[in-house]
Amino acid sequence: MKRPPVSFALTLGLVLAMLGAVPAAAEPSGTGSATASAAPAASAADSLRMWYTKPVANWENDALVQGNGSTGLMAYGAPSRERLHVNEKTLWRGGPAAGRDYIGGNRSSAVTPEQLENYRKALDDKSRYVFGLPATGPGGANEQLTSLMFGNTGGMGQYQDFGDVYLDLGATGVTDAGVKNYVRDLDLNTAISTVSYQADGVRYQREYLVSYPDQVAVVKLSASEPGKLSFTASTAAAAGLTTTATADAAAKRITLAGTVNDNQMRTELQLKLVNSGGSVSSTDGKTLSVAGADEVTLVYSTGTDYRNAYPAYRGENPHAAITQRVDAAAARSYSELRQRHLADYQNLFSRVRFDVGGQTPDIPTDQLMRNYRAGQYDLAVDELAYQFGRYLSIAGSRAGNLPTNLNGLWMVGDAGKYWGADYHFNVNVQMNYWPALTTNLAETQVPFNSYVQSLVVPGRLTADRSAAVATPDFAGTPIGSGNGFLINTQVNPFGHTAPIGSQEYGWNIGGSSWALQNVYDYYLFTGDKEFLRSTAYPMLKEMATFWNTYLWWSDYQQRLTVAPGVSAEQGPTAVGTTYDQSLVWELYRMAIDASKTLGMDADQRAVWESKQNQLKPIMIGVQG
């Protein structure tokens, strides 16, 4: 399948789509009739406020996503029945599982040096074909690549949706059609969203935030008159999970816990209610009902027993840790939770002000985007899109968790619609982090750095099985002392680094070298020499060692080459594509510069310089 490059968090097209640059969906009855006058006039202070006059109809186009790098929230905002969609970053199918012989997608036996040499010679023999071998057909270049070096898709898995929390407010008598002045918004300055509307003379409001310091999602419901909040809270798991919901009215808690069907990963959500006025009860042991409250704050958190440690990738049952988080947060006032969230978020977001002279018009954001698509290029959109990208980086990528996948953190339904929402290392995961440093958000790249480091051990096995470059004690050798690690295109949280799938996208021998550009950039932007010494340089050194061994001298081209190579998603299997040659040249450059900065490995540096000089990455043929 052809897989064009894509990035969720920071590709401008998808940022614009999430802002509402799409054809308007059909409006739900009642709420769709609100006008722009439902919101206050825009000012400089709220130029980064996105607002809409109807609930979410399609999550990909309408949802205002929120997150803390672990738990993702999308509030649909219907007056009569709120849907809070929940995602958990570590919730995945695939990897180790009962009855599955999982080795990171790798071949069961390694390609031999002799097989590799014969294949290279055939590719470099231009006596009959311009690429040495016919691209397709039995014995062709592509078939040999996949048969000699590719692994299998068993255990690759995909990102797993979690489910929903529902708040059925039918007991209030509010209907979607009966409300006035409906507004749903998200303030990028605060990462707090709200839903507000009027019904029967009462003003109802919901406020949503997802806190990194407290590791919880928080929803506060209030009304302009006392005793007006009555609803039933329930949970529902997504397909692919086997879960049980239990409600404890005395503790005002719902627990949704179970396992992923595919790999038996434990997963859990806990939600706790804190009410002012009214009562809380449960009639079925699965749901909680609130009657006649003045205000209600919901606190919930998610987790799994995933642990990023080769080879088991499992840790403790998440129950105790989630209980502690939820109880600690629920013991704080909403005001305190809000202030702790703001102090953390604004420390990151407020570092950059982007002003190109935009004047935010007093219209809903979806209308603003429709106008933009129609040719009314308001600079307010440029400012909003830029800062929305920064917002998504903060919401989707924080220290202590996995990096942003192809969907960032947010998804409804089957990840198969989104290439598994995995980590594509043939540009996509790198793209997610390209803007992090230039927009003064270095902290959001920490998960990427840690994740790449965690792929060294499984990547060594891939280097052995698919490239004939082995590190004898691949799991025990310190990073920097091994013979190299490979990260191909489709990667999961369970050390799946093998080439799989089709030739044109599956073979990505330069993936780890490319990923290290981001890692080295982190040092260049932060100037953190200890990070360079302890983290970046050992990986650079190990990959330079790999290329010292793997590079092949082509008599035809009279240079060192990456063979076999593939120009990602473009051409046939060949010797020395510009894509591969350039990535290796850059890897050597980073290793050379880092060794000079640290005053280390002068003898090895001389070898790297010699190898780099023989790459000649950019070659122009006689036909231009």
Q: In this predicted model, what pLDDT tens digit does every residue of 443-487 receive, in sequence order?
A: 999 999 999 999 999 999 999 999 999 999 999 999 999 999 999
Sign of CA dihedral 88, 92, 96, 99: positive
Tokens 């990035």 locate to 7
Task: Note the pLDDT of residue 19.
Answer: 54
Cα 126 from Cα 574, distance rounded (Å): 11
Three-state DSSP state, 373: helix
Three-state DSSP state, 288: strand
Cα 45 from Cα 189, distance rounded (Å): 9
Question: 39-56 burial by CB neighbour count: b if 16+ within 10 A, else e?
Answer: beebeeebbbbbbbbbbb
Contact 585, 576 (CB under 8 A): no
Cα 520 from Cα 526, distance rounded (Å): 10
Task: Note the pLDDT of residue 46.
Answer: 60
Dihedrals φ, ψ of 560, to 5°?
Answer: -75, 140
pLDDT along the chain (624 residues), means of 10: 35 46 34 38 65 97 97 98 98 97 96 98 92 90 95 94 97 94 98 98 98 98 98 98 98 98 98 98 98 98 98 98 98 98 98 92 94 92 96 98 97 97 96 96 98 98 98 98 98 98 93 98 98 98 98 96 90 91 98 98 98 94 79
- Number of Cβ within 10 Å of residue 562's Cβ equals 25
| 3-state percent helix, strand, coil for the chain, nearest multiple of 5 | 35, 20, 45
Contact 59, 412 (CB under 8 A): yes
**Sequence letter at residue 256:** L
Task: Note the pLDDT of residue 38.
Answer: 44
Dihedrals φ, ψ of 199, to 5°?
Answer: -150, 125
Put residue 316 in one of left, alpha, beta given phi > 0 → left and psi -120 to 50 → alpha. Answer: beta
Task: Note the pLDDT of residue 186.
Answer: 98
Which structural domains are found in the chain, ordered by start? 12-94+158-391 (2.70.98.50), 113-149+455-613 (1.50.10.10)
Task: Note the pLDDT of residue 27.
Answer: 32
- Return the DSSP state at 184: E
Task: Please state the pTM of the whole predicted model.
Answer: 0.93
